[in-house]
A and B are shown apart, each in its own frame.
Chain A
Amino acid sequence: MDLTRVRQDFPFFQKKPDQKTGAYFDNACQTLRPRQVIEAVTRYYQESSACSGRSMHHLAAEVTRQYDQARATLARFLGAAKKEEIVFTRNTTEGINLVAHALDWNAGDVVLLTDKEHNSNLIPWQMLARRAGVELRVVPSRPDNTFDMDAYSRLLDRKVRLVSFGFTSNLDGVTLPAAEIIKKAHQVGALVLLDAAQTAPHQRIHVRALDVDFLALSGHKMLGPSGTGVLYGKYALLEKLQPFQVGGDTVASSTYTTCEFLPPPEKFEAGLQDYAGIIGLGVAAQYLMNLGFDAIQKQEWLLNRALTSQLLEIPGLHLIGPSDPALRGGIVSFFIEGIDSHRIALMLDQMAGVMVRSGQHCVHSWFHARQIAGCVRASMYFYNTLDEVSLLVDSLKKIRKVL
């Protein structure tokens, strides 16, 4: 990967001389956006800000074409069988909520989760448990925070209706062995929903090869506009799901007392969509495919190896997750004994413009169970450099010396 050329695509890196150099290591929260995505969004508003699918004029036809193109691009991006399996959402959270509301649940159904789910893949199921009498089961991780297949197998039985796992953890970057998980789930008749918010930006996902039933992702974590996301679902399953939010654009016709829903994906896309964002999301997916996930992963591993090895030199620093950086993608989470993680993050930003995330990263349950106050998370992406890694480490070493 030609890093210099790639970084030229990102306006963020075009610093003025008086601006801090800094480093952006909060990519697990949101990535930076390339010029191509920004231009696509801007172009929509400047040249074709009309409705898709509703109006007959040429501007609407152009938006419809771009909207469909974005759906097709996302289908290719995920290896879906057809573009109708792509439902546009606002984000991963909405995709998960859609499944939680749209499946017809029975009291006693079981939803299986891991012990380090993001709140987005925990709270919807807690609400479902209260609402429909569904039982939640939590698969504990191994001591090194990797997936415990044996524990999973023990908890898996015919009562399990849905396995809803974070494909890649936003806490430690560990990616689950999804193919095997899905295979086992299907053997007991369970469906599988993968929260791929942290996977889609970093790894090639092929939903048909995985045979996953549902998969949700967010645009803002993969170079796309914020407020965009995708729920992939096998078409046959999407057809069976009840609509989640309903209204304009979800029905073919209605009387005062009845309505006839459109087929998927339209029946799940209620109201006017974020056309600009979705078109931008299509461009972002295409950008990643052009770049190639092999190159992306190679760069992330390079960075993670460098960061991990240097961090381990700092006394009192504890990594969260497996020590092998190859298992943690672009994420390095850590805490330093006796130093509040927020203080570290604020100081890194103040002293060197290094932007990291601190706290419990919406995985409160994991931290509470282990009585850990919080951690610092440096999440890297392909556009980060070894110099930026060094800046982070040098700054951390100074902080360690002082505090």
Chain B
Amino acid sequence: MLCIVSFIVLSILGIFSASNRQLAREALDCVLRRVTLRPCNTGFDEKIKAKILGVVITRSEAGARFLNRHFELLSWVAFFLLLGSSVMAVRGVYLFYVTGSCNGLNNSAFCVFDPTGQNNQVSTLGQTCSLSDNPERGVTLKNVDLSDWPVLNAGASNQIVMVGCYACDYTRKVYPSIRALVQKYRPEFRFGEYQVKEQTDLLTRVGYCVYHADPEKYWAMNDVLFTTEKANLDDPSYVHQLLASLGLDANQIETCASDPQTQTRVEKLLNEIRRTNFPGTPTIFINGVPMVGPKPYRVYAIQLEGLFYWMK
């Protein structure tokens, strides 16, 4: 068992050191002999055992004696530990590929491939931007009325529901991926704008009015708002110009936005968004599965189209 454990460990160390590479070759030879039920006669296991004992004996003679007596047993233990950790490591890599986190979807525990936890960061209603370990708990579309949410490709078999805010960094980061996904796979796409950073819902109201005036121009406006400087979002004249540049009657939209009826409908929409129990923006539901934080494109694509999305 020692040679199998050694082969795996030394192969990894061999990436960085030539001497370990040579030992890995010896270990491989030993492994090949063992799997073909021949004795390992290269002296490799003896060499490794002596090297390990040589280190242990300088720290504890009793420890070295114990190790020497139970070396085979301890080799088996090391083998199973290695096997277990290898499975966990492979699982971690798989989970990272599929969910953007080594620990599973929306899990913000430490992941070596995403050490800063970027894939799970959200802009929240509070001041902090970090998540609890299970931020998706309770996040759901059940009993949420989506009928008033702006929609694209209504009735498609797949569905993306996105809760985001124009001024939030993480939403701005993920928005291009979602748009690309929508463009490529044409799912039903619903977008709920929720300003977690700003105290005003002006843009939400403007968005509501634009959508009802011309749905296509609403998505064009979203594309601009998610890419423009954040400072512009607080500037009514910029919004006015933007509406005009989209070929909309800016004055009419602004009148609509300040209409109390609009306010009531937007408030209803915001209430529906709150009913999702979303922890912050972006929160994206793909076919009902909540994904909190800006995941890589592939994670959404896999959720939408399966593991081999890139073949489609």
Task: Using A401-B65, A403-B68 as known contacts, say yes or no to A346 and B47 having CB atoms under 8 A apart.
Answer: yes
Q: How far is the CB of B43 from chain A (nearest CB, A)?
A: 6
Instruction: Assess whether B61 is interfacial by the CB under 8 Å rule.
Output: yes
Instruction: Assess whether B237 is interfacial by the CB under 8 Å rule.
Output: no
Q: How far is the CB of A272 from chain B (nearest CB, A)?
A: 31
Instruction: Assess whether B58 is interfacial by the CB under 8 Å rule.
Output: yes
Chain B residues lying within 8 Å of A350, measured Cβ to Cβ, are 50-51, 53-55
Q: How far is the CB of B59 from chain A (nearest CB, A)?
A: 10
Contact yes or no, B64 A343, CB < 8 A: no
Give per-residue flags for A29-69: 1 if the beta carbon is below 8 A from chain B beta carbons, else 0.
00000000000000000000000000000000000000000
Q: How far is the CB of A155 from chain B (nearest CB, A)?
A: 37
Chain B residues lying within 8 Å of A344, measured Cβ to Cβ, are 50
Which of A342, A346, A402 sits near B65, CB closer than 8 Å? A402
Chain A residues lying within 8 Å of B51, measured Cβ to Cβ, are 346-347, 350
Which chain B residue has the least Cβ–Cβ distance from A401?
B61
Give CA–CA (A345, B53) in the complex, Å. Answer: 12
Contact yes or no, B46 A340, CB < 8 A: yes
User: Number of B residues contacting the other chain (C-beta, 8 Å)?
Assistant: 15
Q: How far is the CB of A36 from chain B (nearest CB, A)?
A: 31
Give per-residue flags for B19-62: 1 if the beta carbon is below 8 A from chain A beta carbons, else 0.
00000000000000000000000010011011101110110010
- What is the total of A-B residue contacts with beta carbons within 8 Å? 46
Instruction: Assess whether A103 is interfacial by the CB under 8 Å rule.
Output: no
Instruction: Assess whether A131 is interfacial by the CB under 8 Å rule.
Output: no
User: Number of A residues contacting the other chain (C-beta, 8 Å)?
Assistant: 17
Give CA–CA (A322, B55) in the complex, Å. Answer: 34
Q: How far is the CB of A246 from chain B (nearest CB, A)?
A: 39
Chain B residues lying within 8 Å of A346, measured Cβ to Cβ, are 46-47, 50-51, 54
Give CA–CA (A349, B58) in the complex, Å. Answer: 12
Instruction: Assess whether A5 is interfacial by the CB under 8 Å rule.
Output: no
Give per-residue flags for A331-360: 1 if the beta carbon is below 8 A from chain B beta carbons, else 0.
000000000101111111111100000000
Which chain A residue has the least Cβ–Cβ distance from B54?
A350
Instruction: Assess whether A399 is interfacial by the CB under 8 Å rule.
Output: yes
Instruction: Assess whether A398 is interfacial by the CB under 8 Å rule.
Output: yes
Contact yes or no, A351 B58, CB < 8 A: yes
Task: Using A340-B46, A342-B47 as known contacts, say yes or no to A398 and B61 having CB atoms under 8 A apart.
Answer: yes
Q: How far is the CB of B11 from chain A (nearest CB, A)?
A: 21
Chain A residues lying within 8 Å of B49, measured Cβ to Cβ, are 343
Task: Using A398-B61, A402-B61, A403-B68 as known contacts, say yes or no to A342 and B54 having CB atoms under 8 A apart.
Answer: no
Query: Can you offer 14 A-B residue contacts whose CB atoms are under 8 A?
Result: A342-B46, A346-B51, A347-B53, A347-B57, A348-B54, A349-B54, A350-B51, A350-B53, A398-B61, A399-B57, A401-B65, A402-B61, A402-B68, A403-B68
Q: List B residues at the A interface (Cβ < 8 Å).
A: 43, 46-47, 49-51, 53-55, 57-58, 61, 64-65, 68
